[in-house]
Amino acid sequence: MTRTTDLTDAAHTADASLLPLNDTQAHVELTESYAAHNYHPLRVVLASGEGAWVTDVEGRRYLDCLAGYSALNFGHSHPRLVERAREQLGRLTLTSRAFYNDQLGPFARDLAALTGKEMILPMNSGAEAVETAIKVARKWAYLVKGVPEPQATIIAMEGNFHGRTTTIVSFSDDPAATAHYAPYTPGFKLVPYGDLAALEAAIDETTAAVLLEPVQGEAGVIIPPEGYLQGVRALCNASDVLMMADEIQSGLARTGRTFACDHEDVVPDVYMLGKALGGGLYPVSAVAADGDVLSVITPGTHGSTFGGNPLAAAIGREVVAMLETGEFQQRAATLGARLAAGLEGLVGQGVDAVRTRGLWAGVDISPGLASGRQVSEQLLERGVLAKEAHGQTVRLAPPLVASEDDIDLLVGAFAGICRG
């Protein structure tokens, strides 16, 4: 620990940059000193990663069971994605949309094919994809459906998570996400997730869209009752309302299918994609829809400097190509069944409930055992990285490149904690 203190002091001197800053305490202090405290990270400083595994600055290895909130579905540094990105880095990275580039067209075509939609609109972060969908829905309501301006409403779900912009937090019901950010953007209604009668009652002639996560990730991997997505689809059809599925976390193979909506054979009018679309290398997001919806966006009415840039498009297109074989969807289904079986054996022994869809699990920890945060800290000590979603729930989303042994190790770590 003496060495730790020395380094920490040194970090605040002019010569700090000359020292090898390779110790956990020094990095934690630097980060806490100079970066705003908008997260509460576990105390581990990561320096490298490959596949499902990461290594910290002190050389310890961990199985990454958060996987960048599913941005790392293909694991760290997937060789195919890294190679494609390197190649594109050396050729062309940014043009702006003032000009065409030779990567966006092929990416747009391939992503449209993967989603079964006619066109896509490329953005960067997930929140920007959601913002785009909201703007599209409002404009569609006025120009196509004929809702009197400015009365369009969008119905969202209790417990939702769609990102952090001022408009998006305006319809969050999580006090941590909303407090002191008023005034909030109007035009949203919330209904209980999974409740078709409440949704039906909320729809009226001003409704532009229903916006939902087909599985609520941040809320703790909440899976709606069977038939719910089909019911939403039917209500939207009956009232000329857009069904907009936020598949930013649930999509792109995580649940064992390309999209979580596929589990009910439901096709929404609008998909929002992000996270794994950039392969964990780069932020890439998109909205996918048919022309009668997306064509309400015309030159000058929406955009982004980086959206659709050649590097993003090259990486995104490689991700789409990797999803076309179905290999990762199959891995998620097979490994997910193994994870589910292992975790279900712990119900009643420190675990209250387990919800899984593909390689994605919400594990409710018995309050008598520990909090979600404490379990995350104990998993860290056992070489597994995971994070509590909400209070008592730990969310598990290992990279889809994990091995069966990795899944067994994860279950074993959980079992060890449950049995004390």
Residues interacting with ligand PLP, by CB under 6 A? 69, 125-127, 130, 161-163, 213, 217, 246, 248-249, 274-275
Give catalytic status of residue 364 as yes or no: no
Catalytic status, residue 161: yes
Q: Closer to ligand PLP at the Cβ: 260 or 322? A: 260
Q: Which is nearer to ligand PLP, 8 or 258 (CB)?
A: 258
Q: Which of 269, 275, 364, 406 is catalytic?
A: 275
- To ligand PLP, the closest distance from the beta carbon of 246 in angstroms equals 5
Residue 46's contacts (CB-CB under 8 Å, 6 or more residues apart) are: 54, 55, 56, 57, 62
CB of 79 to ligand PLP, least distance (A): 24
Q: What is the nearest approach in angstroms of ligand PLP to the Cβ of residue 213? A: 5
The answer to whether 246 is a known catalytic residue is yes
We find the least distance from the C-beta atom of residue 106 to ligand PLP, in angstroms, to be 23
CB of 60 to ligand PLP, least distance (A): 27
Per the residue annotation, which of 74, 139, 145, 161 is the catalytic one? Answer: 161
- Shortest distance, CB of residue 410 to ligand PLP, whole angstroms? 21
Residue 221 class from Cβ within 10 Å (0-12 exposed, 13-18 middle, 19+ buried)?
buried
Active site residues: 161, 246, 275
